[in-house]
Amino acid sequence: MAYRDPSTIRNVAIVGHRGSGKTSLVEAMLFASGATSRLGSVPEGTTVSDWDPDEQRRATSIAASLCHTEWQGTKINLLDTPGEPSFVADTLGSLSAVESALFAVNATAGVEVQTERLLARSREMGLGLAAVITMVERERADFEGAMTALRELIPGAVAIQMPMGEGDRFAGLINLVSMTATTYDGVDPAGDTGEIPADFMEAAQAARDAMFDVVAEADDDLIEKYLEGAEITTDELIAAIVAGAAAGSVCPVLCAAPTVGGAGADRVLDLIVEALPAPTEYSRTAVDPEGAETVLVPDEDGPLVVSVFKTLADQFSGRVNLLRVVSGALPPDTQVTDARTGDRERVGQLFTLQGKEHVAVDAIGPGDIGAVAKLKAVQTGDALTDGPLLSLPAVIYPEAVMTFAVAAADQADEDKMNASLRRMTEEDPSLAFGRDEKTGELILGGLSQMHVEVIAERVRERFGVEIELRPPRVPYLETVTTTAEAEGTHKKQSGGRGQFGDCWLRVEPLPRGKGFEFVDKIVGGAIPRPFIPAVEKGVVEAMEVGELAGYPLVDVRVTVYDGKHHAVDSSEMAFKIAGSLGMRAAVAKAKPVLLEPIMTAEVTVPNDYVGDVMGDLNSRRGHPLGMEGGAAGETIRAEVPMAEMLGYAPDLRAMTHGRGEYHMEFLRYQEVPAHLADAIAAQGRGAEEAAA
């Protein structure tokens, strides 16, 4: 079976902040290359990649979408990724499947927070980098301001294009390599190319000189030729840009006005083909069960290793897995082994995606991306092989930080809701779903309130299940602050063999985050050795429900140092109960306290709103860590209790007129202030009694 030469494939993730024009740029590239017959619109909900009804309603991407096209004899796989931090799991998974990241930067907002985060991750992964400054036709567009911000983040960032006018004066794009200008009529994405108008020549020449300073820096021959006053040809300049991009010393930056008939999209396609790496230029390292490493390259004759980087939960097709063939080739009807589980799976019909459209393919060759449906247990992050088991580096996803209690609006749909939410966790690895053993509630956790609400909407639309969300729960914990001792005795006589167990326990605090230690200091057989594990089980069971407010107990050392037993009546069960009773008695004496989760919050707001936001964070018991300016305004970093950040999103929108945004990550647990602990404890006891 013949496969496409991997050197004629480009796998590119389109990444950037929410609202940076990623989807419009993908749509323009599909249109310019002839993959689509019309230019879709994000506001109208007619783009190829934002096909989900929820995306169309919100006019923003909330899931990664695979599209593909052909340009200059090269297949280009485009992954349009979400820019909203709540849905970053799809973006991180997409970055693991590609060789290049193409950053979209909004000319009206500049480099924003999520762009900075994703740029750092892309660099860690060694991906090829390029950028497109979009929306140069919009009011308040500032191309040079966006370029300045990019240069601060990426020393090798260099503009190889510039707009002819901005905002309502936008007339076209200037190619600084060929020193030509292209005007657009809003219909033909190729435009009309000719000489640079005299009004723009001086600015274009200055921009070209700045480009040359960066591009030639790593090319001694080019610098020498320049110093000698010799003319630098267009081909030489292109070669230097390509070499610099390959070496990582140059990050080429284009500009585009996708909504003006796809203006600039053809140059972006040229850049992807000519300057960004092919799969053959990027290797990955796999590990076998013994830890031995294997370097994988996209070779048809190499071992078959397939990376699963995204899972779709479809009510008609079932589970759909998006695949990247790292090594070897994948024909249909192949038997593969999941390296995570060791289970065998049969790969059936293969296809690729054009948004929501399934396009059947004969096979997926080395370095290419495609999809398969109805694999039984394969999950995002799994590696599939047809020979020795090989695992690929795991993608590190952020953990859920915002939890809701969930219930089916109709009790008859509870089983269907459970199945639907479990399928959603397969699609989004940053989700957490399970039953709280203490309260018996089903808990759905995500990266934000918006994240969880969107998942509930998806379940309703895809699976017809209405979900009720209760207010987010704060996962308080308990610990002790001093050392205490207590006796736990379980004695029961009811005729015949009785039950007897007695133990003395010492409870003492451990440093925060150390968890739990159990120490056996029984001597002389006061408690027979076979019963010591039963005492520990009783202690662990008691720790699940703290004495202060019913929250789990953490960061304690428990020592069993004495006890009594009966030759006939003692048993494992008796000592387990005694251990539980002794633990509760000791904790009650050890001055228990409540612990609350503290979050690191990053709030980005325009400069005009910094004072209001800082004051609000202080009122939420926040501890400011500092501020950092950027093109999007000021980013305020602070430590804030999670309990104070519930419902923060609507408050921030109101304070900043919709222009602020925030991101939170768990930092640590710390003691709740005494004046708040009593009310929280009473609330916890009330919830426990209600559950009982």
Are residues 537 and 440 located together in one domain of the fold? Answer: no
Q: Rounded mean pLDDT of 232-238?
A: 83
Residue 499 in contact with residue 569, Cβ under 8 Å? Answer: yes
* Domain contains 147: yes
Is the pLDDT reported for residue 220 higher than 80? no
Q: Say which CATH number the domain at 532 has.
A: 3.30.230.10
> What's residue 2's pLDDT?
58
Higher-pLDDT residue of 210, 578: 578
Task: State yes or no: pLDDT of 1 exceeds 60.
Answer: no
Q: Which of 57-61, 122-126, 272-276 shows the lowest mean pLDDT across its residues? A: 57-61
Residue 149 and residue 269 in one domain: yes
Beta strands in 580-622 (DSSP E): 592-605
Q: How confident is the model at residue 479 (pLDDT cuts 50, 70, 90)?
A: very high
Region 65-90 average pLDDT? 94
Q: Are residue 572 and residue 657 in the same domain, yes or no?
A: no
Q: Cβ distance 622 to 614 under 8 Å? A: no
Q: Is 154 in the same domain as 38?
A: yes
533 and 646 belong to one structural domain: no
**How does DSSP classify residue 183?**
E
Over range 59-73, report the average pLDDT: 93
In a domain, 79, yes or no: yes
A 10 A CB-CB count for 662 gives 23
Query: In this predicted structure, which of 42-46, 231-235, 287-291, 590-594 has the lowest mean pLDDT?
Result: 231-235
The CATH number of the domain holding residue 333 is 2.40.30.10
Domain final position from 452, 473, 494: 473
**How does pLDDT run across 362-372, given as a tens digit for each residue?**
999 999 999 99
CATH number of the domain within which 626 lies: 3.30.70.240
The full 3-state SS of 339-352, as one line of letters, equals CCCCCEEEECCEEE
pLDDT 10s digits, 411-466: 889 999 999 999 899 889 999 999 877 567 899 988 888 889 999 998 998 889 99
Q: What is the mean pLDDT of residues 24-33?
A: 95
304-355 confidence digits (pLDDT tens): 999 999 998 766 667 899 999 999 999 998 999 999 999 999 998 899 999 9
Alpha carbon distance 93, 118 (integer Å) = 12
Residue 325 has φ and ψ, to the nearest 5°, of -80, 105
Listed residues 590, 608, 630: the one ending a domain: 590
Q: Residue 143: what pLDDT?
A: 95
Which residues are registered as beta bridge partners of 172?
A: 164, 183
Name the pLDDT band for 501 (thresholds 50, 70, 90): very high
Higher pLDDT, 353 or 222: 353
Decide if pLDDT at 514 tops 70.
Answer: yes
Q: Are residues 291 and 275 in the same domain?
A: no
pLDDT value of position 316:
66
| pLDDT score, position 632 | 62
- Which CATH number is 420's domain given? 3.30.70.870
Look at residue 689 and tell me whether its pLDDT is greater than 60: no
Residue 91 lies in a domain: yes
Residue 392 lies in a domain: no
Cβ atoms 405, 397 nearer than 8 A: no
**pLDDT bucket at 246, cuts 50 / 70 / 90:** confident
Q: Are 590 and 481 in contact (CB under 8 A)?
A: yes
CA–CA gap between residue 99 and residue 577 (Å, rounded): 58
Domain assignment present for 423 = yes
pLDDT digits (tens, 9 = 90+) for 655-671: 987 678 788 888 999 99
Q: Give yes or no: residues 69 and 108 share one domain.
A: yes
User: Residue holding tokens 């222009």?
Assistant: 659
The structural domain count of the chain equals 5
**CB contact set of 252 (below 8 Å; sequence gap of 6+):** 130, 131, 158, 160, 241, 245, 271, 275
pLDDT for 321 equals 93
pLDDT confidence bin for 606, thresholds 50/70/90: confident
Quick one: 371 and 413 in the same domain? no
Q: What SS3 class is residue 58?
A: helix
% the chain with pLDDT above 90: 60
CA pair distance 24, 30, nearest whole angstrom: 10
Would residue 1 count as lying in a domain?
Answer: no
Which of 53-67, 598-612, 624-638 is least confident?
624-638
Check whether residue 355 and residue 376 sit in a common domain: yes
What was the pLDDT predicted at 201?
95
pLDDT-derived band at 28, boundaries 50, 70, 90: very high
pLDDT at 550 over 90: no
Phi, psi of 71 (to 5 degrees): -155, 125
pLDDT of residue 426: 85
Compare 646 and 167 and report the one with higher pLDDT. Answer: 167
Last-in-domain residue among 228, 252, 281: 281
Domain that holds residue 618: 595-676
Evaluate if residue 229 carries a pLDDT over 90: no
Q: Out of 28-37, 165-174, 366-375, 660-669, which region has the weakest mean confidence (pLDDT)?
A: 660-669
Average pLDDT over residues 180-185: 92
Query: Is 390 within a domain?
Result: no
- Shared domain for 206 and 295, answered yes or no, is no
> How far apart, in whole angstroms, are the C-alpha atoms of residue 631 and residue 553?
45
The answer on 523 and 410 residing in a single domain is: no
Same domain, 164 and 297: no
**What share of the chain in percent tops pLDDT 70?**
96
Instruction: Please report whether residue 397 resides in a domain.
Output: no
Tell me which of 236 and 486 has the higher pLDDT. Answer: 486
Q: What is the pLDDT of residue 259?
A: 87
Alpha helices in 428-524 (DSSP H): 449-463
